[in-house]
């Protein structure tokens, strides 16, 4: 029941004495049990598509730490793969994709409606988790935002400045807009199926939103998020949506009103006192401890955690990092953060 789940209460606007807590990438390489399961799977993509093992790694941080929410173990680039792009991972370097930069390459993509056969194991992972999670743990589904997904599909990999995507946007707006529309449609269907499979909250990760400036931020970060959120709420009226336009800076202000999301996740480049005054006034916020504290630990971790708790104490807040936890993090520092949030 929702009243037993602190995460859902915060997303509904309730101010709690102790905020719910989870971490982006909480199932990951910093945990020895994750590394063992990934070795069992063989490789990262095989782990994503093995429903039993993906559910296992989703559950591992819940067993170890008792987080208030579990986030589906998957990857934002499964949608491009389901649309027909080639996807593989290079050890130590990250993802690689076949590129979409021409009309012919775009035309070779599948329709959005045809993604579900490829993604069916992801939905099965969610179904497993609905029966395996503790009764007070919220299940989060997610997808990449269209702009962020498009940057990978256009460049074929991650880039420091998203330059190839900006170039296509400026030089061939027809193909760029068609790609954005296809990703947006697929994302709506993908998240809707996640909800039907058991996700109680969905999060839209726009990891590269910060490289969009001015009107481009409105067109390619705000508008797609608004379209996805509206479509999901039309199909699933009670579903909460978290938006994460990472490194949006001043553009965090008004993002919830402009998109309809129930919560805005904040990166750690923004000051929590400023964010409380300018972003939390519109509803729930999530964040925003620097993930580096999970590596370095010490009193600075405790002090910054307490400062964030103080800053956001006057409104609905979900405690999280400002970015995903990194593989070199110390699991003991995670526990110290949790203890600080829950025990002061």
Q: Report, as an integer, the average pLDDT of 276-285.
A: 98
CA distance 81 to 335: 36
User: Cis peptide leading into 160, omega within 30 of 0?
Assistant: no
Domains of the chain: 2-260 (3.20.20.210)
Burial class (CB in 10 A: 0-12, 13-18, 19+), 307: middle
Q: Report, as an integer, the average pLDDT of 39-61.
A: 97
Of 30, 34, 152, 220, catalytic: 152
**What single string gives the DSSP state of each residue in 295-328?**
HH-HHHHHHHHHHHHHHTTTS-EEEEESSPPPTT
Of 9, 34, 49, 75, catalytic: 75
CB 106 within 8 A of CB 175: yes
Judged by phi (left if over 0) then psi (alpha if -120 to 50, else beta), residue 84 lies in left
The larger pLDDT score, comparing residue 289 to residue 93, is at: 289
Q: What is the pLDDT of residue 256?
A: 98
Q: What is the pLDDT of residue 153?
A: 98
Q: Report, as an integer, the average pLDDT of 74-83.
A: 98
Q: What is the pLDDT of residue 176?
A: 98
Q: Report, as an integer, the average pLDDT of 89-97.
A: 91
| Residue 220 falls in the annotated catalytic set | no
Beta strands in the chain, from DSSP E residues, in sequence order: 69-71, 87-90, 94-97, 138-144, 201-206, 241-245, 263-265, 284-289, 317-321
Q: What is the pLDDT of residue 334?
A: 98
| Residue 282 falls in the annotated catalytic set | no
Q: Report, as an integer, the average pLDDT of 124-150.
A: 98
Tokens of 310: 């103080």
Which residues are within 8 A (CB) of 46 and not within 5 positions of it... i.e. 6 or more apart?
Answer: none
Q: Report the candidate in 175, 192, 181 with the shortest Cα–Cα distance to residue 237.
A: 192
CA distance 275 to 265: 11
CB 295 within 8 A of CB 329: yes
Other C-beta atoms within 10 Å of 278: how many?
15
Where b means 16+ CB within 10 Å and e means fewer, 204-225 reads: bbbbbbbbbeeeebeebbbbbb
CB 87 within 8 A of CB 158: no
Please check the confidence at residue 10 and state whether its pLDDT lies above 70. Answer: yes
pLDDT confidence band for 22 (50 / 70 / 90): very high
**What single string gives the DSSP state of each residue in 71-95?**
E----TTHHHHHTT--EEEETTTEE
Q: What is the pLDDT of residue 92?
A: 83
**What percent helix, strand, coil does the chain show, rounded to 5?**
55, 15, 35
CA distance 219 to 224: 7
Q: What is the pLDDT of residue 344?
A: 79
Full-model pTM: 0.97
Q: What is the pLDDT of residue 294?
A: 98
Beta bridge partners of 287: 319
Q: Report the candidate in 154, 174, 179 with the shortest Cα–Cα distance to residue 165.
A: 154
Q: What is the pLDDT of residue 1?
A: 56
| Residue 29 falls in the annotated catalytic set | yes
Please check the confidence at residue 2 and state whether its pLDDT lies above 70. Answer: no
Q: Report, as an integer, the average pLDDT of 225-253.
A: 98
| Residue 303 falls in the annotated catalytic set | no
Mean pLDDT of the chain: 97
pLDDT confidence band for 4 (50 / 70 / 90): confident
Share of the chain above pLDDT 70, in %: 99
Over residues 150-180, the pLDDT tens digits come to: 999 999 999 999 999 999 999 999 999 999 9
Which residues are within 8 A (CB) of 243 and not within 5 positions of it... i.e. 6 or more apart?
Answer: 203, 204, 206, 225, 229, 255, 256, 259, 261, 263, 264, 265
Q: What is the pLDDT of residue 54?
A: 98
Q: Report the candidate in 63, 35, 132 with the shortest Cα–Cα distance to residue 335.
A: 63
Q: Report the candidate in 210, 193, 213, 211 with the shortest Cα–Cα distance to residue 202.
A: 193
| Residue 190 falls in the annotated catalytic set | no
């Amino acid at each position: 029941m929702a009243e037993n789940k602190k995460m859902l209460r915060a997303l509904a606007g309730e101010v709690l004495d102790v905020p719910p807590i989870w971490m982006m990438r909480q199932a990951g390489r910093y945990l020895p049990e994750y590394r063992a399961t990934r070795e069992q799977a063989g490789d990262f993509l095989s782990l994503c598509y093995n429903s039993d093992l993906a559910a296992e790694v989703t559950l591992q941080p819940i067993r170890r730490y008792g987080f208030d929410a579990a986030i589906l173990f998957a990857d934002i680039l499964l949608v491009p793969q389901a649309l027909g792009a080639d996807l593989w991972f290079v050890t130590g370097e990250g993802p690689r994709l076949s590129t979409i930069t021409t009309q012919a390459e775009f035309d070779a993509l599948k329709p959005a409606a045809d993604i579900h056969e490829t993604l069916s194991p992801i939905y099965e992972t969610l179904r497993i988790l609905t029966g395996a999670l503790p009764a007070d743990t919220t299940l989060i589904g997610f997808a990449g935002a269209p702009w962020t997904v498009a940057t990978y599909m256009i460049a074929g990999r991650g880039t420091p400045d998203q330059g190839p995507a900006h170039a296509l946007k400026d030089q061939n707006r027809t193909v760029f807009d068609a790609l954005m529309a296809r990703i947006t449609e697929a994302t709506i269907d993908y998240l809707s199926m996640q909800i039907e499979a058991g996700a109680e909250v969905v999060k839209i990760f726009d990891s590269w939103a910060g490289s969009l400036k001015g009107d481009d931020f409105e067109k390619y970060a705000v508008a797609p998020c608004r379209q996805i959120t509206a479509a999901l709420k039309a199909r699933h009226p009670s579903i909460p949506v978290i938006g994460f336009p990472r490194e949006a800076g001043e553009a965090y202000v008004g993002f919830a009103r402009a998109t309809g999301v129930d919560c805005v996740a904040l990166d750690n480049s923004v000051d929590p006192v400023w964010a409380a005054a300018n972003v939390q006034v519109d509803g729930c916020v999530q964040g925003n401890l620097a993930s580096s504290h999970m590596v370095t630990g010490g009193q600075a971790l405790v002090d910054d955690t307490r400062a964030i708790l103080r800053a956001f104490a006057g409104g609905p807040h979900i405690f999280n990092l400002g970015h995903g936890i990194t593989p070199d993090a110390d699991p003991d520092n995670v526990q110290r953060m949790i203890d600080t949030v829950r025990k002061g």
